[in-house]
């Protein structure tokens, strides 16, 4: 018998980078971010119908005795003529239609001498099943009989005598219909128990995921609780929305410990509307070699007027010391030496760049007289660095968005597809490591898990 399985899967998001940056965020503590994932669940009624049909054999009922039921001299066999059909009702109920073919044989006579005649006819049996989704992950059904519709009525043909046996057949069928109600409820109660799948999903979420092997970065998702909207019944399916409230945490370095596995899923909450925002932090890394290349393209060979003379930048490199970016420029001309411009990196949303704030200047030169002219040079080069130098982040953001959305829109397991869209992706903090600059990127998206063909 086919079970209806709900599996959740968490995607892995690849961080963008150009060269390896070793353990540069080992001491950074990422915050916990509370968000949610929604899963629209569609249960096709054809699937429930398949389950019911698998539990009900072709021969539904058989009475092979003439002498039972107070010597009624009556035998009967009942078969399904085609698959049982389910249709969604308007009050959280299912209407079930069971088409039947019936063979009956009746004996007519007295004093133990009987003449037997059989006939075959068809009818349709109707049921009404109400569903109640309990917050302990089980579905309880209550099936009630809704009568018959005769396709052809049962009549025994003894030539000149036509004997209707509808009352006899209906009596047996009503008894079987009551038993059939219990069969439907028992099978649905067994198969529509999602407790084991809730446990499986919860424990899958509790395992840390490596979102960047290159930067040894881990994403840990901790489920908090589960919310479910009321079931919606349609003609051919039942819809529900499942929301998982989570905390996402980013770690660098060693793999963090997983949350303790659970054996029983806690009760979920019924709520009318679910949130659909999924939030996390990821990182984009710019090595200092790349930051130096950006600076060289901007400033290498540039000349500055100082006291009717020229100062030319002949080389430049970028590196980090503690929490400051250092731009080291070699100069020649009127001032020959090393100009050091340092600043705290911040993200400028208007420029879409990582720029320097709290800028400081220092000049190293062997010529003491040149130090008096350095104030003029300092004003020009510092202003230029503040206005022009910046590490563009748009490419990092665009690449990360493309990578995330590619991961958000995949079918990881047959019948289980993710659907998501990133609608906001923005650097929030700039961190310095030994080998480069790391932008911590806040990501907001909508993420859904869609089940098809369960």
Say if CB 32 and CB 231 are below 8 A apart.
Answer: no
pLDDT at 416: 62
Residue 429 CA to residue 31 CA, distance in Å, equals: 12
* Ranges 8-12, 100-104, 243-247, 394-398: which has the least confidence: 8-12
Between residues 317 and 366, the one the model is more confident about: 317
Q: Is the pLDDT of residue 206 over 50?
A: yes
The percentage of residues in the chain with a pLDDT greater than 90, rounded to a whole number, is: 9
What is the model's pLDDT at position 12?
Answer: 28
For residue 75, pLDDT beyond 90: no
> What's residue 204's pLDDT?
67
At the topology level, CATH places domain 45-191 in Bactericidal permeability-increasing protein; domain 1 (3.15.10)
Res. 105 pLDDT band, cuts 50 70 90: confident
Residue-level pLDDT at 201: 64
φ/ψ bin of 435: left (φ > 0), alpha (ψ from -120 to 50), beta (otherwise): alpha
Q: Where are the domains of the chain?
A: 33-42+194-286+395-451, 45-191, 288-388
* Stated pTM of the model: 0.58
Instruction: Please identify which residue in the block is written with the tokens 């009050």.
Output: 91
What does pLDDT average to over the chain? 78
pLDDT > 60? residue 275:
yes
Taking residue 59's Cβ as centre, other Cβ atoms within 10 Å add up to 10
Supply the DSSP symbol for 371: G
pLDDT digits (tens, 9 = 90+) for 119-170: 888 989 899 999 888 888 888 889 999 988 888 888 877 677 777 878 877 7
CB-count burial class (<10 Å; 0-12, 13-18, 19+) for 423: exposed
221-251 b/e with 16+ CB inside 10 Å = b?
Answer: bbbeebbbbebebeeebbeebbbbbbebbbb
């Amino acid at each position: 018998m086919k079970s209806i399985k709900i599996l959740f899967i968490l995607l892995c998001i690849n961080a963008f980078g150009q060269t390896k940056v070793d353990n540069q965020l080992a001491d950074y503590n990422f915050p916990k971010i509370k968000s949610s994932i929604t899963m629209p669940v569609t249960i096709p009624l054809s699937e429930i119908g398949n389950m019911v049909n698998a539990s009900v054999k072709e021969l539904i009922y058989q009475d092979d005795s003439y002498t039972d039921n107070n010597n009624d001299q009556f035998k009967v066999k009942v078969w399904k003529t085609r698959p049982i059909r389910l249709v969604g009702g308007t009050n959280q109920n299912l209407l079930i239609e069971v088409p039947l073919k019936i063979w009956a044989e009746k004996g007519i006579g007295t004093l133990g001498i009987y003449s037997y005649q059989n006939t075959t006819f068809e009818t349709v049996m109707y049921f009404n099943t109400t569903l109640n989704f309990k917050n302990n992950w089980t579905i309880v059904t209550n099936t009630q009989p809704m009568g018959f519709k005769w396709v052809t009525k049962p009549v025994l043909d003894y030539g000149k005598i036509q004997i209707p046996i509808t009352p006899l057949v209906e009596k047996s069928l009503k008894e079987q219909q009551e038993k059939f109600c219990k069969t439907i409820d028992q099978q649905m109660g067994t198969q529509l128990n999602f407790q084991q799948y809730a446990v499986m999903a919860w424990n899958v979420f509790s395992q840390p995921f490596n979102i960047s092997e290159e930067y040894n970065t881990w994403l840990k998702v901790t489920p908090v609780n589960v919310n479910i909207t009321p079931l919606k019944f349609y003609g051919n399916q039942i819809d529900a929305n499942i929301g998982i409230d989570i905390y996402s945490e980013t770690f660098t370095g060693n793999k963090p410990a997983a949350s303790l596995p659970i054996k029983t899923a806690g009760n979920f909450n019924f709520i009318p509307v679910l949130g659909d925002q999924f939030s996390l932090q990821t990182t984009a890394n710019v090595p200092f070699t790349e930051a130096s290349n950006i600076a060289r393209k901007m400033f290498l060979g540039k000349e500055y007027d100082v006291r009717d003379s020229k100062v030319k930048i002949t080389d430049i490199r970028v590196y980090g010391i503690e929490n400051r970016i250092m731009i080291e420029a070699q100069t020649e001309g009127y001032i020959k030496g090393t100009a050091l411009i340092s600043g705290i990196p911040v993200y400028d949303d208007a420029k879409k760049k990582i720029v320097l704030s709290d800028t400081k200047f220092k000049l190293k030169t062997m010529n003491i007289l040149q130090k008096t002219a350095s104030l003029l040079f300092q004003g020009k080069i510092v202003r230029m660095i503040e206005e022009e130098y910046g590490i563009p982040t748009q490419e990092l953001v665009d690449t990360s968005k493309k990578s995330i959305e590619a991961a958000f829109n995949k079918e990881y397991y047959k019948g289980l597809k993710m659907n998501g869209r990133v609608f906001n992706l923005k650097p929030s903090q700039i961190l310095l490591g030994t080998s480069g600059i790391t932008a911590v990127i806040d990501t907001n998206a909508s993420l859904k898990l869609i089940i098809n063909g369960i």
